[in-house]
Amino acid sequence: MPVKLVNIENLSYRYNSIDVLSDISCDIVAGEYIGLVGPNGSGKSTLIKLMLGLLVPTSGSVKLFGHPPAAMKYRERIGYLPQKMNFFNPYFPSTVKEIVSLGLVSKKKFPKRIGDSDEATIDRTLEMLNIADIKDKAIGDLSGGQQQRVFIARALVNDPELLLLDEPTTALDPETRENFFEILRRLNRDKKVTVVLVTHDTGTIGKYASKLLYIDKEIVFFGDFDEFCMSGDMTKFFGPSSQHLICHRHGMNILTVKQRPNND
Amino acid sequence: MPILEYLSYGFIQRAIITGAFISVLCSTLGVLLVLRRLSLIGDGLAHVTFGSVALGLLFGVYPIYISLPVVMASSLGILKLMERARIFGDAAIGILSAIGIAGGVMIASLAGGFNVDLFSYLFGNILSISIQEVYTSIVLSLIVLTVIVFNYHDIFSITFDEEFAKAGGVNTQKLNTMIVLFTAITVVLTMKVVGIMLTSALLIFPAVTAFQIARSFKNALLMAGAVALASVVIGIFLSLFFNLPTGASIVIVNAAFFGVAFIFKHTLRSGHD
């Protein structure tokens, strides 16, 4: 039986009397790789924050590993990359090693200490992301792409079961982005890490994710890419060009298997 | 008079011991506050201290007994205003600061007669510290510093990225409350060292000096502590040698350390370029 890591039921969230999310219901099952997409202001980051318990829903419920987020004790099972890291204080006096070590804090018992085995874990994670050589550098001295990889390392260092990544590839150059997506693919395939990846890059996400969750304050589509590509409703919603773009990168050329609508 | 002879005096020993503990306490909290862009919370709480000292003098109660609870409550008020009223920290600090000053001036005006006493709290006098004040400062400083050391990683985490810390299960609300309460206690203790008017200098200067040079969070805390400690000791002796006000001397030495660190950093950077 598939294990539900996240269970969302009739979730709504209002802020300043504005509906940010309405009646969202979906499950995220262990081993899935979900691309969470939608336009600006569609509620993608809000949904991630609700899953983590950083925001309290107006109505409905979220369960994380079977528990309400606030009661979820084993936070080390989750790796999180917030979107706002693009706006962090670049003058903060901190080395790469110190920042990545913050990812290990959640599994530590009081008094929390970083030991030799933790140092080895940090080194392995930095090597995986090809940033081992900047371990002792100050975060403010790095390029935007390097900084982003440091924050990705912080999310991965704990060997999490569930990765919630809010626009992780911002500021990455194409080569680094491909490398990062390859790491995610390996984690998902080999270690069965469940990935929820928020992105604006609808043209690329089909190449990596197994499922698509498209929201625009409510769920527009949630399901497999193949299902999305064959859906007439989605053709109407996105227009055939956009749907084709997503599905083409997924490896399915829908224009050859579907009859093109008359309005194309 | 040689330094060793000065050191034989009890009032100078008390000043150096108290100054050392309070300066390290200020520098540690200062690093956290400056990085979280709450530098002026010390200034705001110092202004509330002014009001509470006036209240203490009005009722004939030793001011620190009134100041501690009032300033601690005000620090929680700033936190709540930031959380609930959806206003930025600087505005929340400004609100409490204005109330503190206005309240103090009003009480002083209504009561009259204790303007000289109030003046001594405005500019402090570390050389007149009593043995009870020494013990109070040591005990409170040790408690605060011990709590900070044992929660080092959680405090570092919320200082760098509160959202990530919360997602990782860190009790951010508890730590935020703890930090503002510690700041309130520190501000009240610092009143005697440099006075209400200059309290925020002890919180801000060591931190910003350390940030000119430190590359890591740990080093920033250690450097800020060293700068704060050196400033207090040098400032006390400077005031004794040249017959200057002690609180102001400590602050000027702090400012000098910042100037040196700033020049060092920029000279070093241009050397690298």
Query: What's the pLDDT at A264?
Result: 40
Query: What's the pLDDT at B271?
Result: 55
Give yes or no for residue A192 having a pLDDT over 80.
Answer: yes
Q: Which has more confidence, B11 or A247?
A: B11
Helix axes B131-150, B10-35, angle to 10 degrees: 30
**Mean per-residue pLDDT over chain A, rounded:** 86
Residue A260: pLDDT band (50, 70, 90) is very low
- Nearest by CB to residue A99, choosing from B160, B166, B169, is B160
Residue B115: pLDDT band (50, 70, 90) is low
Give yes or no for residue B116 having a pLDDT over 60.
Answer: yes
Q: For the domain that residue B66 is a member of, what is the CATH number?
A: 1.10.3470.10
d(CA B50, CA B48): 5
Q: Which has more confidence, A251 or A152?
A: A152
CA A262 distance to own-chain centroid: 36
Query: What's the pLDDT at B205?
Result: 97
Dihedral of CA B217/B198/B184/B136: which sign? positive
pLDDT in tens, B197-253: 888 899 999 999 999 999 999 999 999 999 999 999 999 999 999 999 999 999 999
pLDDT in tens, B157-191: 999 999 999 999 899 999 999 999 999 999 998 98
Give yes or no for residue B273 having a pLDDT over 60.
Answer: no
Give yes or no for residue A103 having a pLDDT over 90.
Answer: yes
- 131-190 of B, contacting A, C-beta below 8 A: 150-154, 156-157, 160-161, 163-170
- Region A72-98 average pLDDT: 85
Percent of chain A with pLDDT strictly greater than 70: 91
Give yes or no for residue A113 having a pLDDT over 50.
Answer: yes
- Nearest by CB to residue B153, choosing from A72, A95, A112, is A112
Torsion-angle region of A130 (φ positive above 0: left; ψ -120 to 50: alpha; else: beta): left
pLDDT in tens, B6-48: 888 999 999 999 999 999 999 999 999 999 988 889 999 999 9
- Nearest by CB to residue B211, choosing from A78, A91, A106, is A91
A142 has a chain B CB within 8 A of its CB? no
Give yes or no for residue A259 having a pLDDT over 70.
Answer: no
Give yes or no for residue A250 having a pLDDT over 70.
Answer: no
- Tell me which DSSP letter residue B55 carries: H
Residue B88: pLDDT band (50, 70, 90) is confident
Instruction: Please give, rounded to a whole number of angstroms, the shortest distance from the CA of B166 to a CA of chain A.
Output: 7
Give yes or no for residue B2 having a pLDDT over 80.
Answer: no
d(CA B128, CA B105): 25
A98 has a chain B CB within 8 A of its CB? yes
- Region B46-53 average pLDDT: 92
Bond from prior residue into A111 cis (ω within 30 degrees of 0): yes
Instruction: Please give, rounded to a whole number of angstroms, the shortest distance from the CA of A63 to a CA of chain B.
Output: 14
Which one of B161, B262, B269 makes the best mutation probe of the A interface by having the most chain A beta carbons within 10 Å? B161
Query: What's the pLDDT at A263?
Result: 43
- Nearest by CB to residue B168, choosing from A89, A105, A113, is A105
- Nearest by CB to residue A94, choosing from B151, B170, B217, is B217
* pTM, two decimal places: 0.88
- 79-118 of B, contacting A, C-beta below 8 A: none
Domain that holds residue B159: 3-272
Q: Could you tell me which of A129, A110, A127 has the C-alpha nearest to residue A119?
A: A127
Do the beta carbons of residue A166 and residue A176 sit within 8 Å? no
Chain B: residue whose CA lies nearest to A113: B153
Percent of chain A with pLDDT strictly greater than 90: 49
d(CA B42, CA B44): 5
Which one of A49, A102, A139, A162 makes the best mutation probe of the B interface by having the most chain B beta carbons within 10 Å? A102
pLDDT in tens, A128-142: 888 999 999 999 999
Query: What's the pLDDT at A262?
Result: 45
A71 has a chain B CB within 8 A of its CB? no
Residue A81 phi, psi (nearest 5): -125, 105
pLDDT in tens, B118-145: 778 888 888 888 898 899 899 999 999 9
Which chain A residues have a beta carbon less than 8 Å from that of B163?
A: 49, 54, 82, 84
Q: How many residues does chain B have?
A: 273
pLDDT in tens, A9-45: 999 999 888 999 999 999 999 999 999 998 888 999 9
- Tally the domains of chain B: 1
A231 has a chain B CB within 8 A of its CB? no
Do the beta carbons of residue B243 and residue B261 sit within 8 Å? no
Cβ–Cβ below 8 Å for A98 and B216? yes
State the residue for tokens 């599905």: A247
Query: What's the pLDDT at A256?
Result: 54
Query: What's the pLDDT at B92?
Result: 87
Instruction: Please give, rounded to a whole number of angstroms, the shortest distance from the CA of B263 to a CA of chain A.
Output: 17
Query: What's the pLDDT at A252?
Result: 61
Cβ–Cβ below 8 Å for B160 and A111? no
Which one of B160, B175, B218 makes the best mutation probe of the A interface by having the most chain A beta carbons within 10 Å? B160
Query: What's the pLDDT at B145?
Result: 92
pLDDT in tens, A194-235: 999 998 877 778 788 889 999 999 999 999 888 888 888 777
Query: What's the pLDDT at B20?
Result: 94
pLDDT in tens, B91-102: 889 999 999 999
A108 has a chain B CB within 8 A of its CB? yes
Q: How far is CA B220 from CA A225, B31, B154, B264, in A?
A: 49, 7, 16, 16
Which chain B residues have a beta carbon less than 8 Å from that of A108?
A: 153
A100 has a chain B CB within 8 A of its CB? no
Give yes or no for residue B263 having a pLDDT over 50.
Answer: yes
Counting one residue from chain A and one from chain B, the pairs whose CB atoms sit within 8 A come to 83
B219 has a chain A CB within 8 A of its CB? yes
